């Protein structure tokens, strides 16, 4: 790559800040942008796009949950010189019916000269800094996936693959499943969490428990039905199979979930 900056959209997020660290550590110029960063970026405010993009050659792109990747942003980025985009998507987007991410993937593939789509499995960090941390602290993790195994992946490994795709040749034009080194059921993962947390945490994997939690949170019936259908499709897909992508791209072993929980333990002891 030349000396132009690599743009990291959502540079303060779970993967974004780790992508920044990977790139900086390798000596690349990085421009981290978000709604609260020094260089402000807001998907809903096109007036912020040019200053974020101008002068960058490559971009790591993700959008917060519920926010779409605007094709107009990608078009403008390419106009201003961005040649390569790495998009953070998600595994099982077809099964989960995630039209937002499917549309983002299609836009990147059709509008960007050099693209890579990352489809990671469940983040390890969901348990210590994401959607499941409060459930862990409350002593019950409720996800309606029964005993189906997931290839939980560390956000640092996702970032390492993203940084490679942003700066190295050979990963463009590919959709990469990014997984951890082994597949675990949620019950097995939660047992490892509880061991390090130092208090009892149980796993509840049935639809009835999930509906109860969503109803208590004020989620409406139609949205509950949609979510149940998505998780049912995920269960129907069956056990995840580790992809080996982290090892192939980085040349090192992916972080095992058992090592992650040791690292994450302080988050649960508050």
pLDDT top residue among 94 and 239: 239
pLDDT tier, 56 (very low <50, low <70, confident <90, very high otherwise): very high
Confidence at residue 96, expressed as pLDDT on a 0 to 100 scale: 83
Angle at 236 between CA 147 and CA 90, to 5 degrees: 90
Alpha helices, DSSP H only, in 80-220? 93-96, 99-111, 133-138, 155-167, 186-197, 207-216
Inter-residue contact 248 to 174 (CB < 8 Å) = no
Surface-to-core class of residue 114, CB atoms within 10 Å of its CB (0-12 exposed, 13-18 middle, 19+ buried): middle
Residue 38's φ and ψ, nearest 5 degrees, are -60, -45
- Model confidence over 177-229: pLDDT tens digits? 999 999 999 999 999 999 999 999 999 999 999 999 999 889 988 999 989 99
pLDDT tier at 27 (50, 70, 90 boundaries)? Answer: very high
Q: In the structure, what pLDDT confidence band is assigned to residue 236 with cuts at 50, 70 and 90?
A: very high
Residue 203, both tokens: 């796993």
Q: What is the pLDDT of residue 2?
A: 66
The whole-number pLDDT of residue 1 equals 58
Q: Which helix (H) or strand (E) holds 51?
A: helix 49-53
pLDDT at site 269:
84
CA distance 115 to 174: 7
Place of tokens 């960063």: 37
Mean pLDDT computed over every residue of the chain: 95
Q: What is the pLDDT of residues 149-187, one digit of tens each?
A: 999 999 999 999 999 999 999 999 999 999 999 999 999
- How far apart CA 230 and CA 144 sit, in angstroms, is 10
Show the tokens assigned to 176. Answer: 């990469």
Share of the chain above pLDDT 70, in %: 99
pLDDT tops 90 at residue 100:
yes
pTM, whole model, 2 decimals?
0.95
* Confidence band for 86, pLDDT divided at 50, 70 and 90: very high
């Amino acid at each position: 790559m030349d000396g132009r900056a690599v743009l990291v959209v959502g540079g303060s997020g779970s993967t974004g800040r780790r992508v920044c660290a990977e790139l900086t550590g390798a000596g690349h110029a990085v421009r981290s942008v978000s709604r609260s960063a020094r260089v402000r970026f807001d998907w809903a405010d096109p007036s912020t796009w040019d200053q974020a993009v101008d002068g960058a050659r490559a971009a790591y792109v993700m959008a917060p949950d519920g926010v779409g990747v605007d094709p107009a942003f990608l078009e403008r980025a390419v106009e201003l010189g961005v040649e390569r985009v790495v998009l953070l998507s998600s595994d099982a987007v077809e099964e989960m019916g995630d039209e937002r991410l499917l549309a983002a993937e299609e836009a990147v593939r059709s509008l960007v000269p050099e693209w890579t789509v990352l489809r990671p499995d469940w983040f390890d960090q969901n348990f210590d800094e994401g959607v499941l941390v409060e459930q862990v602290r409350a002593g019950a993790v409720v996800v309606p996936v029964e005993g189906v195994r997931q290839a939980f992946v560390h956000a640092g490994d996702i970032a390492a693959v993203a940084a490679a795709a942003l700066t190295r040749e050979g990963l463009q034009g590919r959709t990469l499943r990014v997984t951890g080194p082994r597949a675990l059921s949620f019950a097995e993962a939660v047992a490892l969490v509880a061991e390090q947390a130092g208090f009892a945490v149980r796993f509840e994997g049935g639809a009835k428990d999930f509906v109860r939690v969503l109803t208590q949170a004020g989620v409406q019936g139609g949205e509950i039905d949609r979510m149940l259908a998505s998780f049912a499709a995920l269960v129907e897909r069956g056990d995840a199979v580790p992809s080996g992508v982290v090892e192939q791209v980085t040349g090192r072993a992916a972080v095992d979930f058992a090592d992650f929980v040791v690292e994450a333990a302080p988050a649960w002891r508050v």
